[in-house]
Amino acid sequence: MVLAFALNGLLFASLVSRIPDLRSGLSLSNGSLGLLLLTIAAGSVIALPSAGALIHRWSAGWVVRWGAVCAATGLTVAALGAGPIGLVPLAAIGLFTYGIGVGIWDVAMNVEGAEVERGLGRSIMPRFHAAFSLGAIAGAVIGVPMAALSVPMVVHLGVLGALAVVLCLRGTRAFLPAEEEKTSSGPARSAWLEPRTIAIGVMVLAFTVAEGAAGDWLSLALIDGYDVAHWVGVTGYVAFVSAMTLGRIGGPVVLDRFGRAPVLWASAASAAAGILLVVLGGGVVLVACGVVLWGLGSALGFPVGMSAAADDPVRSAARVSVVSTIGYGAFLAGPPLLGWLGDHVGTLDSLLAVALLMIPAALTVFAARPPTAVSQS
């Protein structure tokens, strides 16, 4: 279970660490790079609606395994397109395939995580997502020397993709079956009409854009906005993921002590303040503090949203699938749109739009409260 999250993060951060090379290798502007990255979102948006049916038909473990195969294949093809072959369409096909694989993989592992959490009867979802963050740290840490030494992308991403496939094939054998909703697809559709589920989805959307924007644009924003070396930009992303990981490891303790709503309101404030410091700080100390605050603020929105969607065991899988679909779509689609904005106002200043998204995040936090708390209010 933990391995599935970690490997997903490993591949994501590995791709992120080579985005500057992707841009330079294909001679793209920020707007063109944003459009290219949007193919990841397109692949996921097409695949996500079928994720629930695939999980119900074949099990979450089966979907994770095949998602890993698609993701690894897509990264290798994209690396070929951006490297020795130098064709934007080939890179786009690879990223589209990666989007399909990582999208269904993400939904499946979150559905599985919700089932495990509900079975244990305690909050552990943030720690599953901490495994994603640890995998992302590993991917970013590996990516720094790979980029600094100009290791070909196809070697870097191809080897890690193959490793992820092998480990997923072995690690998903212990997955639990998704018991709920195997007999009907109706609840999965009706969950889209539930106000609480959609409100949780909006909250998750805002937090995941904050996380995804750091993944796709933080390194480039530091490089372009502050004229630092490539490795410094990647190091900034490592600091972000490290802070986010610490937030997720300690998250269950804070959530049990203060409750979901106060913690999520503080998270939204932290993320917004952090982004403002990154954009407006000007100096190393303030920008570094901003990166840390941004990472801490982005830590709990997605995992707590998954837990909130799974509060009612009767239809948890359908609701987790809906919220995961909304969140993951935003995670992928939001950051590429920042590329278009970056071409008009600059890469660094475009991040201010992400800070504004913390307003709807704060306004929809109420939906994440446990049903008992909602009914008593």
The domain that contains 135 carries what CATH number?
Answer: 1.20.1250.20
Q: How far apart are CA 108 and CA 8, in angstroms?
A: 12
pTM for the model stands at 0.77
68 domain-assigned:
yes
377 domain-assigned:
no
194 domain-assigned:
yes
42 domain-assigned:
yes
23 domain-assigned:
yes
180 domain-assigned:
no
Asked whether the beta carbons of 206 and 358 are under 8 A apart, the reply is yes
Between vectors from CA 373 to CA 367 and to CA 377, what angle results, nearest 5°?
90
Where in the sequence is the domain holding 147, given as residue range(s)?
2-175+185-372
pLDDT values of the chain reduced to their tens digit, one per residue, 377 residues: 788 999 999 998 899 888 888 888 888 877 788 788 888 878 887 887 777 778 777 888 888 999 999 999 999 999 998 887 878 899 999 999 999 998 888 888 887 887 787 777 777 888 898 898 889 888 888 988 888 888 888 999 999 999 999 998 887 777 765 554 444 444 445 778 889 999 999 999 999 899 888 877 888 888 888 888 877 887 888 899 889 989 999 998 898 888 899 999 999 999 999 999 999 988 888 999 999 999 999 999 989 998 888 787 667 667 877 887 787 767 666 766 777 787 788 888 888 999 999 999 999 998 988 776 444 33
Residue 32 has phi, psi (to 5 degrees) of: -65, -40
Asked whether the beta carbons of 321 and 191 are under 8 A apart, the reply is yes
Q: Work out how many domains the chain is built from and give that number.
A: 1
251 domain-assigned:
yes
Q: How far apart are CA 229 and CA 157, in angstroms?
A: 22
Residue 364 has phi, psi (to 5 degrees) of: -105, 5
Give the relative orientation of helices 284-297 and 230-258 as an angle to the nearest 10 degrees: 40
Q: How far apart are CA 200 and CA 304, in angstroms?
A: 9
355 domain-assigned:
yes
